[in-house]
Amino acid sequence: MSDNVPYEKLPEPAETCIKTPTFNTNHYKVFTSAHGFSNLLLGVTLFSIFLIVFYFTYTAQIEGEIVKEQVKTTIDELAFNIKNSGIDMSQAKQFVNNISTPDMSEADKDVEKKNKELLTMCIWIMGIFAMITFGIIILIKFFFSFSLIPIILINLLLVGAVAGIEILFLNVIVKNYRSLDSNFVKKTIVDEILKFKDM
C-alpha cells in the first residue's frame, strides 16, 4: 500500500538580470564571411612579409654570429688538444708555416652574389603575392562594405608580438644552442690528417 503524496508544482525560476553575452562570430567564419576571409588574407600576407624581412635583416645576422662562435670554439678546443698531446711543437710550427692561406675572395664574392639574387627573388615573389592579396581584400571591402581598420590593427599587433618573441627566442635560446657537433668536426680533421701517413 503506497502513500498518496499530493503533487506540488515547483515555482517557476525567477528571471535574472544577467544576460548571456553574445559575440559577433562573423570574423571567425573564414570562408563564409567577407570579414573573416579578409582577416585571413591580411594575416597571411603580413606574416609572410615579416618572416622574409626578419630573416634577411636579423635572423641571418644572428645565425652568422652563432656559426662563427661555434667554429671558433671548436678550433680552440682542437688547438688545446693538440698542445696537450705531447707532439713536437717545433715540427708542428714548421708544418703550419708551410701551409699557405688560400685566397677566398672570389668564393666570397660568389656567395654574396647568390645571396643577393636570392633576396631579390624573395622580394619579387613577396611583392607580387602582397599585391594580389591586398587587391583581393580591397575588392571584398568594396562589395561587402566593412571596416578594415580593426583587422589591420589586430594583425599588426600579432606581428609585433611574434617579432618580440622571435627576437627573445633567438637571443636567449638559439645563441646558446650548440648545433655544431665539435667532436665530429675534430674527429673528421684528425682522420683527414691521419690519411697523410698513407701518402
Q: What is the pLDDT averaged over residues 130-152?
A: 91
Q: For the ranges 29-33, 70-74, 121-125, 149-153, which has the lowest average pLDDT? A: 29-33
Kindly state whether residue 60 falls inside one of the protein's structural domains: yes
Is 27 part of a structural domain of the chain?
A: no
Give the relative orientation of helices 34-54 and 149-172 as an angle to the nearest 10 degrees: 30
77 in any annotated domain: yes
| Domain-embedded: residue 97 | no
Cα–Cα–Cα angle for 194, 108, 60, rounded to 5 degrees: 100
Q: What pLDDT digit, counting tens, does each position of 10-21 carry?
A: 555 555 555 555
Q: Rounded to a whole number, what is the distance in angstroms from the first to the last CA of the chain?
A: 112
In a domain, 99, yes or no: no
Q: Determine which of 62-66, 138-142, 151-155 has the lowest per-residue pLDDT on average.
A: 62-66
pTM: 0.67
pLDDT, mean of residues 40-65 = 91
> What percentage of residues in the chain have a pLDDT greater than 90?
33
CB 42 within 8 A of CB 133: yes
Does residue 1 lie within any of the structural domains? no
**Residue 166 is assigned to a structural domain of this protein:** yes
- 40 is in which domain, residue-wise? 34-88+107-198
Is pLDDT at 69 greater than 80 in this prediction?
yes
* Mean pLDDT of the residues in the chain: 80
Number of domains in the chain: 1
Q: Is residue 17 part of a domain?
A: no
| Angle formed by the axes of helices 60-83 and 182-194, nearest 10° | 50
26 vs 182, residue with greater confidence = 182
What confidence score (pLDDT) does residue 183 get?
A: 78
